[in-house]
Amino acid sequence: MVSRLGQFVWGMVSLSLLASCAKEQKKFNLSQPHQERQLIVTYKQGTLRNTITKSLHTFDAEQETLNSESVLVGIVDSGMDYNHPDLKDNVWSNPGETGLDANGKDKRTNGIDDDGNGFVDDWHGWDFYNNDNDPMDDNSHGTHVAGTIGAVGNNESGIVGVNWSVSMVPIKVFSGGGATSTDMLVKGIEYATTLGVFVSNNSWGGGAYSDAIYSAIKKASDKGILFAAAAGNEGENNDVGDHYPSNYDLPNIISVAAINRKDNVSAFSNYGANTVDVAAPGEDIYSTLPNGLYGLKSGTSMATPHVTGAIALIRSRYPLAKALEIKEKLLASTVKTNALDGRVIYGRINVANSMETDVTPPSIVTGLDVIQAGLNNISITWNSAGDDGDAGDASSYVIRMSDAPLTTTAEWDAAEPAILSELKRSNSVYTASIKNLVYNRSAYITIRAIDNVGNVSDLSESIAFSLVPVDMLWSEENDTKGNWDAFGSPWGISKIGDISVISDSPDAFYANGSDKSAVTQDITLNSSDLVLEVRMKYELEKDYDWGYIELSVDSGLTWKEVGKVTGASAWTTSSYNLKDAIGSAKSFRLRLRLKSDQSVNYDGWDIDSLKIVGQKG
């Protein structure tokens, strides 16, 4: 049996999986549709401009006075055709490995690690797949990505990238057939960190959570290096099924979804209201291919280099800004659209906005109020703030929670950030929700507006709220079969260290082709406004094997889904609202159900505890 653990795929659509027998190594067949171009070249007063199709309004950034040559961009991919006429002038040349050495020999080929970085003759990057100094692209993926980031501008030829002039480092970690491994990816990321790139492009993803990859990206974050990551091409919600590396909770990661020319999220693109940061063009992108050619590809792979290129361009405008400040400018300058509402955290990238030199902050937000408080959530409203003072409309809003009213910036910085969901606007009034709050909490909320270049308003008035008081009405700690009525073999009680759990696979890996459940006894409570809290960890084959949490009000004749998990997660506590599933019933049962496909299995689903909280009847 071949495990998909360690599976990494490019963020490009039309991938056919061919699993190799090598540990943590996979091969992929790649194919892309060939339709109309999206990245186009136009002329203005004798110079080339970079313009994404007008309907997208993604950016329209004049570059006559901008030069990103000093901005180092790492491209962790299949390599690059560094001889391509539209790329060669923007390929990084290692100053420590070029020129002549003390013996008059060419440092590029003298077989000496002249710059002492651990890589011999890495004069224009490194090939970690073949462990040599020739990162030539034998696939096409990395070359296409590179063209979007930095195809040479103003050369009256081919296309132009987001940057006309930039320093791109080809870091080859994929073979020509799409094979890679965790070790190669880690080495590629660490090499980019060693070189001190400002941002790395990572148009790949997949596989389970990896401590090694997480640590490599964290090291990059600690060094002030941004990490643009493709959100993936399964058409799935990354809030539910984790996608790595884009889902790692690290401050330097920017997760990217793909949109089409109509501003809609591409059908293949992953999304996530809480996990995917921005969207960028990713369908039918026309860019460079090996051997001096050009062609179209689609995928979040193609969206991600638009973001990477934008970061490099913004950096050229603000060379003294720190990495996270550049990230904030990119995020604050995005454009919110109805099609992206609930699909990404921020919106569609807009480089023109982020390049403005505006220093006028938005007006103070007024009208902040709590409409309704629930068991673990609140609904709030506020009035739209201006962009430049009272003029225009602010681009986004941030909210923080505190135990006392906030009156200073220092108090704001120390307060707890809140995640807004279900954000809607009607005329000049916003409404939103803040979910998954600690039960029985009383606190204050304060809001600030952000304009399109990252200027922040002064603090609003702080508003108090108190959640509906609740008690724990039912619990199962899973140290015995106490509240359980039925176990579909092999479900049972087991131990993980000192923790007693109910598990779908007490004896390690779950079976293929399984559809087995554990069902509680009847639970009778006098309230239907209930929340189920489940503390669990899981390692399931992402998008193929699922753990379902279901509820029945008719003694198990029919079941309603209240939640599901796939992929991998360390110990976490998730909340599920039961109100809609219970309706007017007074008694119900819960079911934990594992459903797996016919191939590949992992450690499974372990549940430490289940708790139901609500108001006492």
213: confidence class by pLDDT, cuts 50, 70, 90: very high
In CATH terms, the fold of domain 369-466 is Immunoglobulin-like (2.60.40)
Mean pLDDT of 18-29: 23
Mean pLDDT of 283-302: 96
With vertex at residue 262, the alpha carbon angle to CA 232 and CA 287, rounded to the nearest 5 degrees, is: 60
Burial 362-386 (b: 16+ CB within 10 A, else e): bbbbeebeeeebbbbbbbbebebbb
46: confidence class by pLDDT, cuts 50, 70, 90: very low
Torsion angles phi and psi, residue 442, rounded to 5: -125, 135
CATH superfamily of the domain spanning 9-354? Peptidase S8/S53 domain (3.40.50.200)
pLDDT number for residue 567? 84
Report the distance separating Cα 252 and Cα 434, nearest Å. 24
* 350 neighbors 57 (Cβ within 8 angstroms): yes
Q: Would you say how long the chain is, in residues?
A: 617
Q: How does the average pLDDT of the chain come out, rounded?
A: 86
In CATH terms, the fold of domain 472-614 is Jelly Rolls (2.60.120)
pLDDT number for residue 44? 26
With vertex at residue 119, the alpha carbon angle to CA 115 and CA 122, rounded to the nearest 5 degrees, is: 75
Kindly give the pairing relationship between strand 515-520 and strand 484-487.
antiparallel
- Percentage above 90 pLDDT, the chain: 62
Q: What is the pTM of this model?
A: 0.69
Is the predicted pLDDT of residue 1 greater than 50, yes or no? no
Task: Please tell me whether residue 192 adopts helix, strand or coil conformation.
Answer: helix
pLDDT number for residue 449? 94
DSSP 468: P
More confident residue, 325 or 3: 325
Mean pLDDT of 287-291: 97
Q: DSSP alpha helices (H): ranges in 333-385?
A: 351-354
Dig out the tokens for 109 from the structure.
């080929």
pLDDT number for residue 155? 86
9: confidence class by pLDDT, cuts 50, 70, 90: low
pLDDT number for residue 380? 98
Mean pLDDT of 450-471: 92
Can you name the residues that pair with 270 across neighbouring β-strands?
Answer: none
Q: What is the pLDDT of residues 367-415, one digit of tens each?
A: 999 999 999 999 999 999 998 888 888 888 999 999 999 999 999 999 9
Mean pLDDT of 494-521: 90
Catalytic residues: 77, 141, 301
* 26 neighbors 20 (Cβ within 8 angstroms): yes
168: confidence class by pLDDT, cuts 50, 70, 90: very high
Is the predicted pLDDT of residue 485 greater than 60, yes or no? yes
Q: What is the pLDDT of residues 408-459, one digit of tens each?
A: 999 999 999 998 888 888 889 999 999 989 999 999 999 999 887 778 999 9
Dig out the tokens for 80 from the structure.
């690059």
pLDDT number for residue 30? 24
Report the distance separating Cα 166 and Cα 164, nearest Å. 7
267 to each of 54, 204, 233, 234, how far by Cα in Å?
Answer: 21, 18, 9, 9
pLDDT number for residue 8? 53
pLDDT number for residue 66? 60
The ranges of the chain annotated as CATH 2.60.40.10 are: 369-466
Helix and strand element counts for the chain (H, E): 8, 37
34: confidence class by pLDDT, cuts 50, 70, 90: very low
The torsion region of residue 588 among left (phi > 0), alpha (psi -120 to 50) and beta comes to: beta
Is the predicted pLDDT of residue 520 greater than 80, yes or no? yes
543: confidence class by pLDDT, cuts 50, 70, 90: confident
Is the predicted pLDDT of residue 31 greater than 60, yes or no? no
The tally of CA atoms less than 13 A away on the side-chain side of residue 363 is 14
6: confidence class by pLDDT, cuts 50, 70, 90: very low
Contacts of residue 408, defined as CB under 8 A and 6 or more positions apart, other chains included, come to none
pLDDT number for residue 616? 67
The ranges of the chain annotated as CATH 3.40.50.200 are: 9-354
Torsion angles phi and psi, residue 13, rounded to 5: -75, 170
Q: What is the pLDDT of residues 108-148, one digit of tens each?
A: 888 988 888 989 889 999 999 999 999 999 999 999 999 99
Least trusted range by pLDDT, from 53-67, 289-303, 313-327, 600-614: 53-67
Beta strand segments in 111-165, E: 126-127
pLDDT number for residue 36? 29
pLDDT number for residue 14? 31
Mean pLDDT of 555-567: 94
